């Protein structure tokens, strides 16, 4: 009701301030005056709107719309906060993954260095074993060569001795040596 009174007084204020009322050539409160008729139509329209509580409905709709907008803004803020949290989590995970990758690369480099050192040590041991085997083969070959040279020298010496003895010895001396050798063998066997 208070709204209606305020609106009526607004209407009367408009009527009194009307240029047609101030002119004075036609009475303002007459149905022949178009300004008065328009004013009456406006007042009736406003009264109908107030009677059916349209301003309250419009206010309620605007309030609902404002509440909807506010809830959408709150939801958008919540989504933004959630997105920022997710972004921070992903950035932290990315840093952790990068650190882990750096550790893996460092460990791989260290393992490669250790493997290279082990390979060098294994190669040095292998070379030492091969050198020892080669030196042993050389020593064996040298021993075999010395033995072969000795055997050859003995054979040559025996041949030379046989030739010298054969040239200097007579048949009787040879028979005497044979008999003494047989006797010596016989004595050793029995």
Task: Render pLDDT for 137-158 as a digit per residue (tens, 0 to 9).
Answer: 998 988 888 888 888 877 877 7
- Domain of 23 in residue numbering reads as 2-52
- Within 17-53, residue ranges assigned H as helices are 19-23, 34-51
pLDDT more than 70, % of the chain:
86
Assigned domain for 47 exists: yes
Within a domain: 181: no
Q: Which residues contact 55 (CB under 8 A, 6 or more apart)?
A: 3, 49
Domain assignment present for 160: no
- What is 90-158 written as a DSSP string? HHHHHHHHHHHHHHHHHHHHHHHHHHHHHHHHHHHHHHHHHHHHHHHHHHHHHHHHHHHHHHHHHHHHH
Domain-embedded: residue 18 = yes
Q: How confident is the model at residue 8 (pLDDT cuts 50, 70, 90)?
A: low
Query: Is 14 inside a domain boundary?
Result: yes
Q: How far apart are CA 42 and CA 25, in angstroms?
A: 23
* pLDDT tens-digit readout, 109-131: 999 999 999 999 999 999 999 99
68 part of a folded domain: no
CA 54, CA 44: separation in Å to the nearest integer? Answer: 14
| pLDDT at residue 180 is higher than 60 | yes
- Specify the pLDDT at position 102: 94
pTM equals 0.38
- 24 assigned to some structural domain: yes
Could you give the CA distance from residue 60 to residue 53 in angstroms, rounded to a whole number?
10
pLDDT at 155: 82
- 43 falls within a domain: yes
**Could you give the number of structural domains in the chain?**
1
Residue 18 CB neighbours (<10 A): 15
């Amino acid at each position: 009701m208070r709204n209606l009174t305020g609106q009526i007084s607004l209407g009367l204020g408009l009527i009194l301030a009307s240029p047609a009322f101030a002119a004075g050539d036609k009475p303002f409160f007459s149905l022949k005056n178009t300004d008065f008729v328009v004013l009456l139509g406006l007042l009736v329209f406003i009264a109908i709107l107030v009677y059916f509580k349209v301003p309250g409905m419009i206010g309620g709709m605007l309030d609902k719309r404002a509440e909807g907008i506010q809830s959408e803004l709150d939801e958008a803020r919540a989504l933004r906060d959630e997105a920022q949290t997710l972004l921070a989590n992903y950035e932290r995970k990315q840093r952790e993954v990068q650190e882990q990758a750096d550790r893996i690369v460092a460990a791989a480099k260290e393992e490669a260095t250790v493997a290279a050192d082990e390979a060098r040590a294994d190669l040095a041991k292998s070379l030492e074993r091969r050198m020892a085997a080669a030196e042993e083969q050389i020593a064996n070959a040298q021993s075999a060569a010395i033995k072969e040279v000795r055997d050859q020298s003995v054979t040559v010496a025996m041949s030379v001795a046989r030739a010298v003895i054969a040239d200097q010895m007579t048949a009787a001396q040879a028979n005497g040596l044979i008999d003494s050798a047989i006797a010596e063998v016989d004595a050793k066997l029995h």
